[in-house]
Structure 1
Amino acid sequence: MSERKPIHVDPDTRPILSVVIHTEEEFDWSKSYDRNATGVTHMRYIDRAQGVFDSFGIIPNYVIDYPIASKAEAFGPLKAFADSGRALIGAHLHPWVSPPFEEEINARNSYPGNLPRALEHKKLRILTEQITSSFGRPPLTYLAGRYGFGPNTGEILEELGYEVDISVAASIDYSADGGPDYSDYSSAPFWFGSRRRLLGLPGSGGYVGQLKAGGTPLYRQLMHPWLRKAKISGAVARLRLLERIRLSPEDYSEPEMRRLTQSLLADGVRIFVFSFHSPSVMPGGTPYVKNDADLERFLEKCRRYFDFFMRELGGTTMTPLEIKDWLEQH
């Protein structure tokens, strides 16, 4: 990513929550990438999540990929939400199901930022045009599929008129799989861009506990096979000396998300991005929700966390575009 300019938010600012949904096709996460896996059945149930957002006055940002943007049964419910002011629509590029289909399908190419510049530009341009056609307005927020922001992505976003990028997964390193390394990124927002000012809004995450200052280097050491075999890694986690947590109901409990939020607040963070994948609204849609009981637990985690954020922390909620406007005025 081009040179980042950190944004310092007044510590007296009320905590701000933005909800971003990776809105995408259904596929088997345990298998290789498949251009034919473009099912969108779960979108008939998206109101399960929208109802939770509505009850807290949250306007979610659905970042959508090509199978969602090009199928009426998928984008129809979202258009109704957007037209009534209950949702914001952005873009989410899954290269393997987004035309043109020119690249080899493999793990490295699943990160759009690894594609040749011309191909990444063409895929995102076609996706942008499809979203504009389906919704009647262009998307201005972007989250790269698999968090795959690359060396050319910033310039492409500028050229296509985007305003906010949400691709950074704070503190996570995907380089072992050919993806980007975000281990030196915090959850704080930043400005970037060479032609005009874009907002970088990381997905909230980080290290929690007494050893959190050790960050990614210490976490990597603790994940070493011999430390795990010696049960040291497990002991550190049980004692909550060092945990890596993301602000998502997928894989993380409500207490874990609370601990992350309190830790980030103590570090001066005031803007939070909560996210999950749209197929999680349907049992079997993702590994995180396998049955009806999982779904109810999943939605209840969302409700309880939003109640904690709004009521206990006295927080408020904004879309990524509202956050950008607010930051430009402060």
Structure 2
Amino acid sequence: MRKVYFVLSVDTEEEWDWDGPFPNKVISVENVDHLPAFQGQLNDLGLKTSYFLDYAVMENPHARDLLADLYQSNPGIEYGSHLHPWVTPPIVPVKSEADSHIVNLPIDIVGEQLKSLTSTITELTGRQPTSFRSGRWGINDDILRALADQGYLVDSSIYPFYENDWFSCADYDSWPLAMSYLQTTPELIELPVTAGFNHRPFTRAQRLHKTLEQPAWARFHVIGVLWALMLHRKIYLSPELSTSRDMIALCKEMLQAECPVIHMYLHSSSLLPGSTRYVQSQRDKNRLMKRIESVVDFLRSQCEVEPLAITEAALRLREEGALKDHG
């Protein structure tokens, strides 16, 4: 039976209305109180969790103490860095949505913010964080080099098959990459979240999707029709965004493509009902957990699943020669 690594990552951050202004004064991190019970459920499933921590949860004394206890009592978890520029010193005032994406900020500012975040996580755990995910996704070469310079080994900021006005990940799939073209020491590894379609090849499916998004086709709502008919679905491996059935369909395609790692993600704020659009009630929260369990159960029925924290998974993949060279 073939082996697949399973990574579960959690963007661990403040809660706020994602359609509203970015918080930098009144900041609530109540959702962190729900992490111990959540981690207990994941332990029951035999999973190892990677938490990407942002500065807002680290500067809150109660949340910081809770995260310290969680780290000490769960040896298999990993704490990485999650950079929100509107809460990380030196704070950048967010005057527009563009300012919320670190790819649009001067690299010297991003580098200083990364130092602030890195040092506070190191103080908490006694270990340098080695994994990183940008807030709101997106990455560029300057930031990747800054990560390597500050001792990071793994980035997870690429959001496959997604693009907006400021960056594009539309041409990336979910395969882990050796970022050799950067010529950094240590060499960075890119381990994206798992995303794709319910049919392969994904590159052709993505071309179809981009075509159908064009105005000439969009007015006919073809994407919605194909979705309803289950003929063409873009799926992200997140229990917030996708049903168990869709995530299992995506996993089937990933296994057939012999991808060596499956990477699921969610936000910590979804553990506090009412904090995100995805989870409005306790029933929604229960369903979130059930979706995680269903995907893990499916994968275990198909292959040998080894749950790993993100840095260990990335290093194993490099040792095994399973990375694609992005050089």
TM-score of the alignment, normalized to the shorter chain, above 0.5: yes
The answer for the alignment partner of 1:7 in structure 2 is none
TM-score by length of 1: 0.90
The answer for the alignment partner of 2:312 in structure 1 is 322
231 and 152 in structure 1: CA distance in 2 versus 1, 3 angstrom threshold: closer
Aligned pairs for 1:43-82 within 5 A = 43-82=32-71
The answer for the alignment partner of 2:169 in structure 1 is 182
Unaligned runs of 5+ in 1: 1-11
Secondary structure (helix, strand or coil) at the match of 2:196 reads strand
Unaligned runs of 5+ in 2: 321-327
* 1:207 shift after superposition: 2.1
Letter in 1 for 2:129: P
Letter in 1 for 2:251: T
* 1:104 shift after superposition: 4.4
Cα distance in 1 for partners of 2:279, 2:215 equals 29
Cα distance in 2 for partners of 1:133, 1:212 equals 42
Superposed CA deviations along residues 17-57 of structure 1, whole A, max 9, x for unmatched, are: 10110000011112122312421111111123212210122
* 1:223 shift after superposition: 2.9
Given that residues 90 and 139 in structure 1 are in contact (C-alpha distance below 8 angstroms), is that contact kept between their aligned partners in structure 2? yes
Given that residues 228 and 234 in structure 1 are in contact (C-alpha distance below 8 angstroms), is that contact kept between their aligned partners in structure 2? no
Given that residues 85 and 100 in structure 2 are in contact (C-alpha distance below 8 angstroms), is that contact kept between their aligned partners in structure 1? yes
Letter in 1 for 2:55: Y
Cα distance in 2 for partners of 1:254, 1:145 equals 26
* 1:143 shift after superposition: 0.5
The one of 29, 32, 36 aligned to 1:40: 29
Given that residues 212 and 241 in structure 1 are in contact (C-alpha distance below 8 angstroms), is that contact kept between their aligned partners in structure 2? no
Cα distance in 2 for partners of 1:37, 1:204 equals 33
- The farther-off stretch of 277-286 and 218-227 is 218-227
- The farther-off stretch of 314-323 and 141-150 is 314-323
Cα distance in 1 for partners of 2:287, 2:28 equals 24
Given that residues 62 and 89 in structure 1 are in contact (C-alpha distance below 8 angstroms), is that contact kept between their aligned partners in structure 2? yes
Q: Give me the identity figure in percent.
A: 26
Aligned pairs for 1:75-94 within 5 A = 75-84=64-73, 85-94=75-84
RMSD over aligned Cα atoms: 1.9
Given that residues 114 and 148 in structure 1 are in contact (C-alpha distance below 8 angstroms), is that contact kept between their aligned partners in structure 2? no
Aligned length: 316
Cα distance in 1 for partners of 2:103, 2:145 equals 11
* 1:102 shift after superposition: 4.0
Cα distance in 2 for partners of 1:116, 1:103 equals 13
Cα distance in 1 for partners of 2:202, 2:232 equals 6
210 and 275 in structure 1: CA distance in 2 versus 1, 3 angstrom threshold: closer
* 1:212 shift after superposition: 4.5
Cα distance in 1 for partners of 2:229, 2:184 equals 47
* 1:142 shift after superposition: 0.3
- The farther-off stretch of 16-25 and 309-318 is 309-318
Cα distance in 2 for partners of 1:210, 1:158 equals 34
Letter in 2 for 1:159: D
Given that residues 163 and 199 in structure 1 are in contact (C-alpha distance below 8 angstroms), is that contact kept between their aligned partners in structure 2? yes
Aligned pairs for 1:1-330 within 5 A = 13-84=2-73, 85-174=75-164, 176=165, 178=166, 180-192=167-179, 193-196=182-185, 197-209=187-199, 212-225=202-215, 227-330=217-320
309 and 52 in structure 1: CA distance in 2 versus 1, 3 angstrom threshold: farther
- The farther-off stretch of 309-318 and 222-231 is 222-231
Cα distance in 2 for partners of 1:270, 1:20 equals 17
Given that residues 212 and 242 in structure 1 are in contact (C-alpha distance below 8 angstroms), is that contact kept between their aligned partners in structure 2? no
